A and B are shown apart, each in its own frame.
Chain A
Amino acid sequence: MNWIDRYVRQIESCLPDRARADTAAEIRSLLQDSVCAQESALGRPLRDEETFALLKAFGHPLTVAAAYSDQGPLVSTALYPIYRLSLRYLATVLVAAWIVSVVGFYLNDRQPLWLAVGFWDAWQLGMFYTGVLTLGFHLADQSLRRYDLLSRWDPARLPPAAAERAPLLDTATALFFCLAWFVALSQVAATHSLDTLLGRTDNRLDTFVLWLKLQVLLALPVYVVLLVQPHWRRWQRALIIVGDALAVIGAGFALSIGTDRFAAQLQVLHPQSDSVQRVAMVSTLILVVWIGGLILDAANHGRQAWSGR
């Protein structure tokens, strides 16, 4: 096999299937023309080093194959900054989770927690999620190109210049507390029923917890999106306000269970306790204060949304 055949074979292996044979035949023909021209100029066959120089001038097989291929990169330059940012977040979350898992392993009598403790297992997990993320971005990229979505962007939807830029640490902290809050709420064995939701079970705690869970479920996507796009948008503030409103409604339903009814329910649940009346009173106070806080939070988000921030 001569050098040109080797070279073309190398390029051929990197070409897309549908144009492989045709492109390889053309490259071979072009190279043979160059060789013929040089040989007739020199009056003798090319030496190996002269053929090498010719091939080097033509380009590395990978470069040549790329030039003949119409395939784009896995993730285009348009999406690459977001892709890189997402990879950074993924790495941060995985490393943090792994450290927590390792610490938990030693604090928990060497019982493995939810994430693989071994470094190799964690590495494999990281590679898996990196692959999933890359595939997701690749598919998103294909869709963007196929439907020409980037050219359909609407300048009217640009975030305002004075938009409150959500600091990464704040967003990450809020997201962490949302998740922790949801886990904590899930520890309360409240029955997921319409009766509980509407305060017909005489248990303030159960009713309030269900509404709080709804609030957290609305807040979570807001903070996840804020991680990637650190600008508050109106829909995000609207979701927070709706969440606050739901929590206020929940507190209202909880308050509709009168203090005496709640105290009676507590007495049934804890017959030995002699402080149920006081607990019921304190819960009324907490709920009222909570409602105040929720209204203030909703008003703050409403004001910011109104002023275009």
Chain B
Amino acid sequence: MTERLDALRGELRRGALTLAVLAALRGEHYGYSLRRQLLDAGLDIEEGTLYPLIRRLETQGLLESRWEAVDGRNRRYYRLSPAGRETLAALRMEWTQLLQVMQRIEGDSA
């Protein structure tokens, strides 16, 4: 039961993950700081899921990145690109509609 619930919960969260990452990257972050911010907000994402996702979003042109030397080593910083901002706005609208739909469904079946 717990395993099944975990799998379903993971599936549910995966859908919202892109939106959360895009929203968090309105400000500039490096990988670890992004993870911390999401964690502080209550979203615990595995590193193996989060970091490849950031790379994919960058490949899709939704994020911009730059390398910066910090304490004698390089660190990659990410932030939303103009296309990413547009996508975030569209996804937010979608998310709001989804919430409303869910509330209606919940209300109907209550």
Contact = CB atoms under 8 A, between A and B. Distances in A.
B47 A29 contact: no
A33 B31 contact: yes
Given A23-B55, A34-B32, A29 B76 contact: yes
Contact of A30 (B36, B46, B49, B51): B51
A118 interface: no
A27 interface: yes
A42 interface: no
Task: Across the A-B interface, give the 3 residue pairs with the lowest CB-CB distance, nearest first.
Answer: A33-B32, A59-B48, A67-B52
Interface residues of B, number: 18
Contacts, number: 46
A64 interface: yes
15 contacts: A26-B31, A26-B55, A29-B31, A29-B73, A29-B74, A32-B73, A33-B31, A33-B33, A33-B75, A58-B47, A58-B48, A59-B46, A59-B48, A67-B52, A68-B51
Contacts of B31: 26, 29-30, 33
Interface of A: 23, 25-27, 29-30, 32-34, 37, 57-59, 63-64, 67-68, 70
Interface of B: 30-33, 36, 46-49, 51-52, 55-56, 59, 73-76
Nearest to A60: B48
A72 to B, nearest CB: 14
Given A26-B31, A29-B76, A30-B31, A63 B48 contact: yes
A193 to B, nearest CB: 63
